[in-house]
Chains A and B, each alone.
Chain A
Amino acid sequence: MPRLTLRGTKDFICRSRLTASTFVELVVTIFLLTAFAALAFPVFWGASKANTSHSITAAAQRARLSLSTILPRLCEEVRPPYWANPDKVFQSSGTEWKVYYRNGKDSDSLILRKESESRLSLVTSETNISIDNLNGLAIDWWKQEKRIIGFRIQWLQDNQTMEFHAAWGSFIL
């Protein structure tokens, strides 16, 4: 009997150890899974949220950034000589604004095309870039004292009218 008692006690202790060990494992696992969820959830939530409710604003901001970095560089290349004829340099229709200039000794043109109500295309002989998400897009010449000095782009963002101006590298006298 004492042997049995002894054996039973040891067995109990062993089983208790096993249970404690399993309990610790369980706690660690739950903790790690919680930590995983805590890390993963915001990422997935953030990603999905960015793709849904915030996607419009983010896309509009990206469009603005693209416009503000690309268009001034293209416009800077537009260098009509100061003796040029404005009617020949600047031409526009309802959907296309075209400006001719000399690129070195060659002729080139920069075209701003309104592809749709929210899509703008910037076209030269070397580039063809489209910028989307410019809702309510409107293109016009930027004028000063009746002279055309660049492009004026307008669009809607968060119910506000945004406006961006880009001037040529040189102007006509």
Chain B
Amino acid sequence: MAARQSNHGVPRCVGLIHLIGLRENAFATLTAVCLLLLAAAFLAGSVLSSQQLLLERNRAEKAIEVRSATWKAGQALLTALQETWNADEQTLDVWWVQHSAVFPAGSSLISLSARVNLNTMSPFLLKDSELNATLLGRSVEDFTTYRINEGPFSKIEDYKDFFKPANLNAMYCVHSHFNVNTADEIMLEKVLAAHTGSESLAASIHARLREFRTNRQVLAQSDWDALIGADKDTIGELVTVNPELDVNTVPPDVLYAILRDPDFKLEHPDAKVQSILASRGSKPLTSDILRQILGVGKNSLLLQYLGTRTYFVQGKIPEAGSVMTFVATVTYSSDSPPKIALRILDTEWTSS
């Protein structure tokens, strides 16, 4: 019995010691496990945070890459235009129809010289021509006052309260040269003051221009050069005698509105518009042919509005979730066919 008890007693005693020993060892094990878990958590945290940094960096680099690719597509479009457009043989619209497939789907290229510049437009043209019907329930005086007080504007949206949306986006723009013969005098002076940084110079040029306008004399290039003299470099290409509109790309509505303007006293304006539309289909009109169709002399004021060259283009290149819109100026050499130089003036990314 005792042996039985003792037999049972010894293992019980050893088991207790064993248990205590196990507890002590388990504490060390538990500590090691805790440290291990801590290290694992620390490691996981480090990995996660570094992953987050990498993700953020990748996102930023990807956004830059996408923009860079869109920018390159825009540059490629302008390079193709520069290298392959024969402006004497095809209109800009025809060139784009032939080449648009090369560029990302949804891209577009239009001539801004097909639209009337609201920053320069004479209030008389808006009042007397059919363009008056494009006003959004506002008077010409309202428009003129707004433009003088707050303009000129570099975004067409700034005129949205004055023109019907459909007309604003199809017939008007805010990019063109300022033609000395047709631009609104006050706006011309404002722009000259802003561009040259000299209000006195702008006022002086305005005063001299006033004399020409009072005498109903159209300034030729030589007159303009003589008028500005040494300030030619300062004024640069912003103010010129180049016509603002290109008859080869102007929409019929704008052509009708201008040619029907009673101030030009043009006979059979509708027939002349039809003739222009028919003639420009196969090949761009030249200055001589335009003059013949219009039946006007070289010094006609109408030829200061209507020319045969596109000086401003607007392109759109779509990218993921947004569209890059750019405006570029076009200059032509005197060669035949003319060599073309393009320079981007404005870029904007808008969500699509």
Question: Residues of A at under 8 Å CB distance from B?
Answer: 3, 7, 10-11, 14-15, 17-18, 21-22, 25-26, 28-29, 32-33, 35-36, 39-40, 43, 46-47, 65, 68-69, 72, 76, 79, 81-85, 87-88, 105, 145, 167, 169-171, 173
Contacts and interface: CB of A to CB of B under 8 A. Distances in A.
Contact of A68 (B64, B195, B349): B64
A154 to B, nearest CB: 19
A21 B18 contact: yes
A32 B14 contact: no
B197 A85 contact: yes
A14 B11 contact: yes
Contact of A32 (B36, B175, B195, B196): B36
Interface stretch (B38-46, B220-228, B272-280): B38-46
A10 B11 contact: yes
Contact of A7 (B10, B18, B35, B152): B10
8 contacts: A10-B11, A17-B18, A18-B21, A21-B25, A25-B26, A28-B29, A32-B35, A65-B60
B150 interface: yes
A83 B33 contact: no
Interface in B206-255: 236-238
B28 A25 contact: yes
Given A28-B29, A36-B36, A173 B329 contact: yes
Given A84-B194, A145-B343, 9 more contacts: A10-B11, A25-B26, A33-B32, A36-B36, A65-B57, A81-B154, A82-B175, A82-B346, A173-B237
Of A17, A39, A76, A83, which is in contact with the most chain B CB atoms at under 10 Å from its CB?
A83
Contacts of B46: 43, 46-47
B154 A105 contact: no
Contacts of B11: 10, 14
Main SS at interface, chain B: helix
Interface in B1-51: 3, 6-7, 10-11, 14, 17-18, 21-22, 25-26, 28-29, 32-33, 35-36, 39-40, 42-43, 46
Given A7-B10, A72-B64, A79 B346 contact: yes
A88 B194 CA distance: 9
Nearest to B347: A169
Contacts of A46: 46
Nearest to B237: A173
Interface string B58-86: 00110110010000000000000000000
B203 interface: no
B150 A10 contact: no
A35 B36 contact: yes
B74 to A, nearest CB: 12
Contact of B14 (A3, A11, A145): A11
Nearest to A173: B238
A88 B197 contact: yes
A145 B294 CA distance: 39
B326 to A, nearest CB: 10
Given A14-B11, A43-B43, A170-B347, A32 B194 contact: no
B196 A85 contact: yes
B195 A18 contact: no
A20 to B, nearest CB: 11
Nearest to A102: B154
